[in-house]
Structure 1
Amino acid sequence: MDMHSFINFFLLPGIVQGSIYALGAIGITLVFAIMRYGHFAHGDLATFGAFIALAFTTVLGLSPYAALPLAVLATGVFAVALDRLFYAHLRAMPKIITTIASFGVALMLRSFVQVVWGVNTTSYTRGITRPENWFGIRVKSHEIVTLLVAIALVVALHLFLTRNKWGKAMRAMSDNPELALFSGVDNGKVIALTWIIAGGLCAASGFFLGLNTELKSLMGWNILLPTFAAAILGGVGRIEGAIVGGLIVGIAEELSVLVIPGEYKVMSAFGILLLVLLFRPTGLFRGKVL
């Protein structure tokens, strides 16, 4: 195998898939950092966001890229509503109860998507997109957009967390919720803001997954394990860890098809998850233990 073949068939698809995992993993790590529980409805929330974008393209006649910011905003607001309806009254209870409740929310979201949009696969655009050739490296336009938007979202989130007062409040609540409360931080507003960001990132993750593959009701469930593996590998609660973890898991999945059938490549994410939990549960960047 020459270098161009390796880049075109393994490395580039792995980076694109890894950036999608990274967007979802950032949302998972934000929810855990602020609220201290694993949110297992995250994958189905990404599916919901992807289909909301589809609704904007079909009902309003928008292009998929124009529908993306609307879907991000709508899913962020919807995530806040989910928290108020299903999670808020569980905050004083053991976190495992909220984690289990998130499974129920996942089933409800999946059923809603199946009732409204059906169970058949669909896509944002019709036809075949031919890749462009850049010195032997073949890349499609939507792959470039995926990478550029993922980078832009990560940079924007980093600037928000380090420069904005509410971003600093989120970091303070992540470090010590009680101390943040005594310091005057409005924990309720921080939680709502966390859900807006996590929901928006979910929508972006689901949108780009559907754009690069296809839209189906189980797409979010299928990426839930790799996304959690990315968050845990990087270190739960660490934004930079989620990015690195997502890229590693995405590339590892694509490389795994060299030795196992493609339909089993998710096993590589499962293997990474087991190894991290066994030998370094705090992840590469020494995050919180899930």
Structure 2
Amino acid sequence: MVLDPQLIWNGLVVGSIISVAALGLTLIFGILNFINIAYGDYMAAGAYVAWAVNAQVGLPIGVAIVAGILFMSIGSVVLDKLVFQHFRTRSPITLLIVSIGVAFFIRNLLRAIWGPSGHFYELPMEANPSFLGIRFSVEQVAIIVVSLLLLLGVYVMLRRTRIGIAMRAASDDRMLSRIRGVDTEKLVLYVWLIGGAIAGLSGIMLGLDAQIRPNMGFTALIAIFAAVILGGIGDPKGAVAGGYFIGLAQEVSVAVIPSEYKFGVGLVALIIGLLTRPDGLFGEATR
């Protein structure tokens, strides 16, 4: 069997989206030590705000993307102040349950405002070019390029900036970081700002590649969680690697299984990863 290069290209596009989303989710976990189930709905909210600015207000897609990112960045901080902050001293299970409630609230709010039907961004109609037998769109190229730039930017931030170094230190030992003078409350603010912005961007990328629906983020959570856990919970570079692996595995699997079953590939990869690499791809999972 000859592998269709189109499937590899599709896998890179999907992997880019999953990697960006997984990076934001794992950054939040590294500092706050809980899996935010509402993260997928943060993605959907960012996508919807960008669509509203683009399709309903009539502004260019670039302006709409910035609006969606800013909205979710600030919105994640507001949700933390209104909800999560009051449960931060509770167990991670309590925060997990609270995040499920937040997820249902956001999803149904989106459905109440914009309805259950799908939407698309208002983009210029262009023929999809092809190269070496691979048909691609400008939006797909933009998704890959933007994701690589973002991943590089976050890597540099974590390695070279004071905020990034403080994030890494707090992820390893939050109590010790506080003793050493790190303002952990301000760090939590930065994490929500950055994590919310990444959620908004990944949701917009998902909307550009597929369709904007209230449950779009929830549907993507399976692959995102698989990437985070496969890469090692709390390990940013592992989440990115896991995201590309899951994206490629899902799309390439279409060559041998019906496309409606490709989302189960992420679960299979997750199970195999937990059995063979329980500490993540790079052995740096947060305990």
For the aligned pair, the TM-score class normalised by the smaller chain equals: over 0.9
Q: Which residue of 2 is the match for residue 270 of structure 1?
A: 267
Q: Which residue of 2 is the match for residue 164 of structure 1?
A: 161
Q: Which residue of 1 is the match for residue 200 of structure 2?
A: 203
- Alpha-carbon displacement from aligned partner over 1:67-121 (angstroms, at most 9, x marks no partner): 1122111101100111111111111111111011111110001011101111001
Unaligned runs of 5+ in 1: none
Equivalent pairs: percent with the same residue? 35
Q: Which residue of 1 is the match for residue 66 of structure 2?
A: 69
1:28–1:39 Cα contact (<8 Å) kept: yes
Structure 1 128/270 Cα, relative in aligned 2: closer, same or farther at 3 Å? farther
Answering whether residue 196 of structure 2 is matched by residue 188 of structure 1, we say no
Q: How does 1:56-95 map to 2 (within 5 A)?
A: 56-95=53-92
Aligned amino acid, residue 264 of structure 2: M
Paired residue secondary structure (2:77): helix
Offset of residue 217 of structure 1: 0.9
Q: Which residue of 2 is the match for residue 238 of structure 1?
A: 235
Structure 1 209/258 Cα, relative in aligned 2: closer, same or farther at 3 Å? same
Q: Which residue of 2 is the match for residue 7 of structure 1?
A: 5
1:229–1:273 Cα contact (<8 Å) kept: yes
Offset of residue 282 of structure 1: 1.3
The partner residue of 2:36 within 36, 39, 43 is: 39
Q: Which residue of 2 is the match for residue 148 of structure 1?
A: 145
- Alpha-carbon displacement from aligned partner over 1:171-194 (angstroms, at most 9, x marks no partner): 111111011101111111111111
The partner residue of 1:102 within 99, 103, 106 is: 99
1:281–1:289 Cα contact (<8 Å) kept: no
Distance 1:259 1:133 in 2: 24
2:30–2:286 Cα contact (<8 Å) kept: no
Q: Which residue of 2 is the match for residue 20 of structure 1?
A: 17
Q: Which residue of 1 is the match for residue 244 of structure 2?
A: 247
- Alpha-carbon displacement from aligned partner over 1:46-85 (angstroms, at most 9, x marks no partner): 0011001112113442222331122111101100111111
Paired residue secondary structure (2:83): helix
Paired residue secondary structure (1:71): helix
Unaligned runs of 5+ in 2: none
Distance 1:80 1:68 in 2: 19
Distance 2:25 2:217 in 1: 13
TM-score (ref. length: structure 2): 0.95
Distance 2:181 2:286 in 1: 27
The partner residue of 2:253 within 251, 256, 271 is: 256
Distance 1:129 1:230 in 2: 33
- Alpha-carbon displacement from aligned partner over 1:137-172 (angstroms, at most 9, x marks no partner): 322111110001101111111121122211111111
TM-score (ref. length: structure 1): 0.94
Structure 1 136/176 Cα, relative in aligned 2: closer, same or farther at 3 Å? same
Distance 2:122 2:149 in 1: 24
Distance 2:274 2:126 in 1: 40
**What value does the CA root-mean-square deviation take over the aligned residues?**
1.6
Distance 2:130 2:15 in 1: 22
2:5–2:133 Cα contact (<8 Å) kept: no
Paired residue secondary structure (1:67): helix
Distance 1:134 1:277 in 2: 38
The partner residue of 2:114 within 114, 117, 127 is: 117
Aligned amino acid, residue 130 of structure 1: A
Paired residue secondary structure (1:257): helix
Q: Which moved more, 1:130-139 or 1:227-236?
A: 130-139
Paired residue secondary structure (1:38): coil
Offset of residue 286 of structure 1: 1.5
Structure 1 214/128 Cα, relative in aligned 2: closer, same or farther at 3 Å? farther
Paired residue secondary structure (2:135): strand
